[in-house]
Amino acid sequence: MSGAAIGLGLPTVLIAALTAVQRETPGPLLGRVSATADTLVLAPNVLGLAVGAALVETVGLRLMLPTLGAVLLMTAAALARRPVAGTLSDTCAERP
């Protein structure tokens, strides 16, 4: 399920980021700035794949999958406790 969310969300972020680069960059610098932006946006993906492959090879898939599941559940629980954007929490309402 998380893979599907990433598959749907990643192109959206990439399109928005690279569109912003193209709109804000002067024409003569567009090639260099676009190449740099591509590198900065996509390099972490390559590093993540390499680290993930090394972890699976070292630790094993039987330990990695339950660990990943636990981390995703903890992340979901932490996000579920956060206030929804656009609403006032108790601490924000008390500020002058």
Nearest C-alpha neighbor of 6 from the set 68, 87, 84: 68
Nearest C-alpha neighbor of 34 from the set 46, 22, 16, 42: 22
Question: Mean pLDDT, to the nearest integer, of 76-81?
Answer: 91
Which of 6-20, 51-65, 67-81 is least confident? 6-20
Q: pTM here?
A: 0.51
Q: Please state, in angstroms and rounded to a whole number, the distance separating the CA atoms of residues 71 and 80.
A: 14
Indicate the SS3 state at residue 75: helix
The pLDDT assigned to 21 comes to 92
Question: Mean pLDDT, to the nearest integer, of 40-51?
Answer: 87
The residue that leads in pLDDT, 94 or 57, is 57
The pLDDT assigned to 44 comes to 86
Per-residue pLDDT at 96 exceeds 60: no
pLDDT, tens digit (0-9, with 9 covering 90-100), for 23-38: 999 999 999 999 999 8
- The range of the structural domain enclosing residue 35 comes to 2-93
DSSP alpha helices (H): ranges in 1-94? Answer: 2-24, 30-59, 61-81, 90-93
Q: How many domains does the chain have?
A: 1
